[in-house]
Amino acid sequence: MIAGFIMIIAGGFTWALVTSQLKDEHITVAAVTPEEPGRYAGKEVAGPFTAYAQAAAIQYHALAGANDRTYAQIGEDLRALKDKLKAAGASDTDIADNAEVKALTATRTSTMNGTFLRTSLFASVISYGVAALVMGLGVIFILLGYALMKVPNTMVTVPESAPAKE
């Protein structure tokens, strides 16, 4: 039962710590679109649902800004463009100064930042899940401990004079 109480306290402490850290960032859930902003749009990120909603909004906007391409896909496009320019005889300086290369690099950087932000928010969501799991297990430990305390601990003994059964 003591382990159960410790687990509930530890889970509650973790939940409160993650919440305070998210609140300290002063993040507001962005609207996904003006037509369908999402249930949590405009609310402060301070829990698992608002953190997940903000991660979803970041994903939508990152993909929209990258023409529905991911960070890896943009990297492939950038590499292919550089290879094409190099095959055409462009120097490294010419490639670095190329407008299309600069645009793809900027888009890739923006997409990368969105990916990092989403990952950070998902880490918070996972932390909330682990905290809830630990608190739930704490409750189960308490109930098991209570049940074990209610089981009678008397031992049945067989008198020595009783004949053994074969």
pLDDT band at 153 (very low <50, low <70, confident <90, very high): confident
159 located within any domain: no
- Asked whether the beta carbons of 128 and 135 are under 8 A apart, the reply is no
**Number of domains into which the chain is organized:** 1
Rounded Cα distance between 55 and 52, Å, is 5
For the packed helices 99-150 and 2-24, what is the interaxial angle rounded to 10 degrees?
160
155 located within any domain: no
- Give the tens place of pLDDT for each residue, 93-109: 999 999 999 999 999 99
Rounded Cα distance between 134 and 138, Å, is 6
45 located within any domain: yes
For the packed helices 71-87 and 99-150, what is the interaxial angle rounded to 10 degrees?
150
Q: Is 91 exposed, middle or buried (0-12, 13-18, 19+ CB in 10 A)?
A: exposed
Selection from 25, 19, 27, 62 nearest residue 43 by Cα: 27
Domain containing 97 equals 2-150
pLDDT band at 158 (very low <50, low <70, confident <90, very high): confident
Distance of CA 92 to the CA centre of its chain: 39
Residue 157 pLDDT: 76
Average pLDDT, the chain: 91
131 located within any domain: yes
- Give the tens place of pLDDT for each residue, 124-148: 999 999 999 999 999 999 999 999 9
Q: What is the dihedral of CA 130, 132, 134, 139, to 10 degrees?
A: -170
157 located within any domain: no
pTM of the predicted protein model: 0.77
156 located within any domain: no
123 located within any domain: yes
